[in-house]
Amino acid sequence: MGSQIVHFMANSTSDLATQYHPYHPQDSHIPNYAPNSWSVPALLSVFFGVCTTLFSSTYFVANALNPKLRRSDLITIMWFVLSGSIHLFFEGYYALHWSTLGSKQTLIGQMWKEYAFSDSRYLTRNSMVLCLETMTAVCWGPGCLLVAWLIVRDRPERFPVQLVVSVGQLYGDALYYATSIFDEVVTGVRYSRPEAAYYWCYFVLMNSFWLFIPAVLVYQSVTRTAEAVSVARRMEGLKKAI
């Protein structure tokens, strides 16, 4: 009898340790959760510092490879390199460690736990988030870097590939927003903590770049492709006339 009581108390203690966390919903199951050891300013400084370094280095490398690049193309290259790197390394890390992310104390793991204050699905083994992030890392990560290379080399394949990648990003981000908003509005489940900074800065603002920028690039790809088809048809008409 005594051993059964000890066993029950041990299991209860383990369950409490597993369940206690600062995320919402508060009853979410996050196995082996461990609080971050890095401070929020330190994590954000590293993240934005790496992004700034990547932006700057991309600017100089792209200019060195093709000094004739237009400013708009250079900015687009910088976007795709940054976006592709985030997809590959940041979201790729999640795809590899999704089942144990709550216990991770690596730099990227702690960044994910900080972001998860705005969306706890990343720590609760959510199947939609896992599939979406895995597809993003596998498909759109390399796809972004391919588009950047095609722009640097001034290849005509740039716009079809840019269209595919941008539509993929746009669709994925819209689905990500939609599933979270649906659960909040329809089922009453909110994945973000109540503090406004987490919802509006992390969830809304940081993800909005992958809505608006791909939308602009989709429009650009469609118009440039339509122009190319129009020119090709006129050339065919001239050849037939001759």
Q: Is residue 63 part of a domain?
A: yes
Domain that holds residue 51: 38-241
User: Looking at residue 15, what is its pLDDT?
Assistant: 47
Do 152 and 137 touch, CB atoms closer than 8 A? no
Token couple for 196: 């406004």
- Structure confidence by residue, pLDDT tens digits, 124-143: 999 999 999 999 999 999 99
Q: Is residue 19 part of a domain?
A: no
Token couple for 221: 């790809």
Do 121 and 202 touch, CB atoms closer than 8 A? no
Q: Is residue 123 part of a domain?
A: yes
Q: How far apart are CA 16 and CA 150, in angstroms?
A: 53
Structural domains of the chain, count: 1
Q: Is residue 1 part of a domain?
A: no
Q: How far apart are CA 120 and CA 131, in angstroms?
A: 16
- Structure confidence by residue, pLDDT tens digits, 200-229: 999 999 999 999 999 999 999 999 998 888
Q: Is residue 145 part of a domain?
A: yes
User: Looking at residue 87, what is its pLDDT?
Assistant: 98
Do 118 and 41 touch, CB atoms closer than 8 A? no
Q: Is residue 21 part of a domain?
A: no
Q: Is residue 89 part of a domain?
A: yes
Q: How far apart are CA 42 and CA 50, in angstroms?
A: 12
Q: Is residue 188 part of a domain?
A: yes
